[in-house]
């Protein structure tokens, strides 16, 4: 198999894992619905940063990290589930309102960016992808590992931006329809929080069952 085919197969797997709804996607959706396009894109930016870190972990994992990550997987999974449950509960308990000023401010966008990065970094789906897939595609026969990892990292962040950024823009535009309807706004935010909480519980249950 030549390098072009190798990279194409990686992209197909990458696209499949990103397009499946999970913690990252729900987090972007929640921020876009409650804070608008700017906050949704800020959350997407944080997740893209997390994607770059996962790529670095994948490159290192070809060498030494593979020996340590499996031991840490269950604690990381539980920590990720707890963090997402916290965000979900916060959304469900908050009195969410939407206007054209406060929720889309730089402070909220920066917070969404930080939380997006943490959300991606503790997402167990990403660690599973790195552990299962990266060793199969990072091969010395295709050249320096760092160069291959750089290309894979660029593919990762571009795919995340296309999928999550598109979702943020779509949901953010829908948010404009909620400005004049506070009840619908509160329902949308709390429903997103409930989804995050449900995914967190399911993730924790799967991790404990597999442990």
| Predicted pLDDT of residue 68 | 57
pLDDT at 101 over 50: no
Residue 82, sorted as left (phi over 0), alpha (psi -120 to 50) or beta, turns out to be alpha
Query: Residue 49: helix, strand or coil by DSSP?
Result: helix
In a domain, residue 17? The reply is no
DSSP secondary-structure letter at 179?
Answer: T
Segment 20-29 mean pLDDT: 80
* Averaged pLDDT of the chain: 76
Domain extent for 138 = 27-210
Using one digit for the tens of pLDDT, what is the confidence trace for 76-93?
667 767 776 777 787 777
- Please report, rounded to a whole number, the percentage of residues in the chain having pLDDT higher than 90: 13
In a domain, residue 1? The reply is no
Using one digit for the tens of pLDDT, what is the confidence trace for 152-162?
889 999 999 99
pLDDT at 211 over 50: yes
Burial annotation 115-143 (CB, 10 A radius, 16+ → b, else e): bbbbbbbbbbbbbebbbebbeebbeeebe
| Predicted pLDDT of residue 113 | 93
| Predicted pLDDT of residue 89 | 81
pLDDT at 103 over 50: no
In a domain, residue 83? The reply is yes
On whether the CB atoms of residues 124 and 207 are closer than 8 A, the answer is yes
In a domain, residue 21? The reply is no
Segment 139-153 mean pLDDT: 84
pLDDT at 27 over 60: yes
Using one digit for the tens of pLDDT, what is the confidence trace for 178-206?
555 666 666 766 776 777 687 778 767 76
| Residue 9, both tokens | 């197969």
Number of H helices, E strands in the chain: 9, 0
On whether the CB atoms of residues 207 and 77 are closer than 8 A, the answer is yes
In a domain, residue 6? The reply is no
Nearest to 152 by CA among 137, 131, 169, 171: 137
In a domain, residue 108? The reply is yes
In a domain, residue 91? The reply is yes
Q: 194 burial class (0-12, 13-18, 19+ CB within 10 angstroms)?
A: middle
Query: What is the number of domains present in the chain?
Result: 1
In a domain, residue 149? The reply is yes
């Amino acid at each position: 198999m030549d390098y072009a085919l190798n990279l194409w197969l990686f992209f197909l797997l990458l696209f499949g894992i990103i397009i499946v709804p999970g913690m990252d996607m729900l987090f972007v959706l929640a921020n876009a619905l409650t804070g608008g396009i700017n906050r949704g894109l800020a959350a997407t930016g944080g997740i893209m940063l997390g994607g770059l870190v996962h790529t670095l972990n994948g490159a290192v994992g070809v060498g030494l990290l593979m020996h340590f990550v499996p031991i840490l997987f269950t604690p990381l999974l539980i920590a990720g589930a707890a963090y997402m449950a916290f965000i979900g509960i916060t959304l469900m308990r908050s009195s969410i309102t939407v206007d054209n000023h406060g929720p889309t401010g730089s402070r909220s966008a920066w917070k969404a960016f930080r939380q997006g990065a943490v959300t991606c970094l503790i997402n167990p789906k990403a660690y599973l992808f790195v552990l299962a897939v990266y060793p199969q595609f990072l091969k010395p026969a295709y050249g320096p590992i760092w160069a291959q990892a750089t290309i894979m990292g660029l593919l990762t962040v571009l795919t995340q931006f296309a999928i999550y950024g598109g979702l943020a823009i779509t949901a953010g535009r829908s948010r404009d329809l909620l400005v004049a309807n506070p009840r619908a706004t509160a329902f949308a935010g709390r429903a997103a929080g409930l989804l995050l909480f449900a995914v967190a519980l399911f993730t924790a249950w799967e991790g404990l069952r597999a442990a």
